[in-house]
Structure 1
């Protein structure tokens, strides 16, 4: 199974990393092969403004943060493709690479999933991948309209179901998510506060050394 966690990673924080590691461990319990998690930074986010760090800087922070952890893979396919980072295009490329039978799962927090119906060609995404919806603190799942109908028709309750086919299921999942966001990290730094322990030490050093997000000595 291919697990992908997309995002701007501006910057990557401990909530991202802990979530990805727990998910990898959970899936390893279900299959002898285990499952790595692909951390997939976008090049040009279409649902927010320009990132505060460049593509190269965001990739560098991800690589430093995941060094020594083989279960977490920095996947640069959207960075290398450039242009608008539409998830449906990424999944189509992965299907060409891995075939139609390989299970692929897209991981989204409830905050992102609640806006899923506004995504580019969103109804095509469940034909290309399963969707794992992680409960994010302060963001209950509030699907309405067509999105609610999609959840009702595709929802499963057991993670083992994701191994049955390549795509098509929606799995709500509870993990020990940390209440950290990249916007909180950026805001703390911009207001002259430390972001240490919100991000890993290597990422914090990188932010300080490169004076990102308004950091000043």
Structure 2
């Protein structure tokens, strides 16, 4: 949030199309990798709407990131440059304190209005850990959830009891259901997920093992150029 109110990008979207579905993909992106992009592209194509990729400034549920918020946002911008329908949203970088999703969604709800359909895109593991999130039961009153999971999995059969009870009756297979209400539904996207994780990439970089193929080329160049994650090797490519 800026000093003068909600981040302008949300107001711009509201003015262009009041009934649009607004999908936000939050994460640490430390670093952004092909798996993140596969999820974002899959959601973009399935929901036929832009995906706003939203790096967290201070993730309260995990160890401090290996790169600064500014560096992670820059890598994300490099990764999605020229990619249709993927948009960088830096709103959490402009807010002091922990990046609680519930606070972000309340900010978005204030900016977009009570009737605007809003969805939070998460991975299956994130949904399974939802009871550990700050004020987690308030989230479904503020937004839908779009969950990326592997084909053949029955995510609703793997939920902790409290989460299963909270999400009962909210599941849908129809993307149109997300546009017919402002919040409260859960849509599971079954798509081939790209292997790899940010944790594994950081481990490989530190160990001097192969890692560049797991991230977009411009991101790999940025990591090497800025000596992130204890990188080995010489910088490549033109300086930023």
Whether the 8 Å contact between 1:2 and 1:105 is mirrored in structure 2 is: yes
Aligned to 2:119: 105
Aligned to 2:201: 185
Q: Output the CA distance in 1 between the equivalents of 2:160 and 2:209.
A: 38
Whether the 8 Å contact between 1:136 and 1:179 is mirrored in structure 2 is: no
After superposition, residues 129-208 of structure 1 pair within 5 angstroms as 129-135=143-149, 141=155, 142-208=158-224
Q: Output the CA distance in 2 between the equivalents of 1:41 and 1:188.
A: 22
Which sections of structure 1, spanning at least 5 residues, go unmatched?
A: 29-34
Whether the 8 Å contact between 2:43 and 2:189 is mirrored in structure 1 is: no
- Number of matched residues? 210
What TM-score comes out, normalization by structure 1 length? 0.93
What TM-score comes out, normalization by structure 2 length? 0.84
SS in structure 2 at match of 1:153:
coil
Equivalent of 1:19 in 13, 22, 39: 39
Aligned to 1:80: 94
Q: Output the CA distance in 2 between the equivalents of 1:21 and 1:149.
A: 30
Aligned to 2:51: 37
Q: Output the CA distance in 2 between the equivalents of 1:180 and 1:38.
A: 22
- Segment of structure 1 superposing worse, 97-106 or 140-149: 140-149
Structure 1 residue ranges (4+ consecutive) displaced by more than 2 angstroms after TM superposition: none
Which sections of structure 2, spanning at least 5 residues, go unmatched?
A: 1-20, 234-240
RMSD after superposition: 1.4
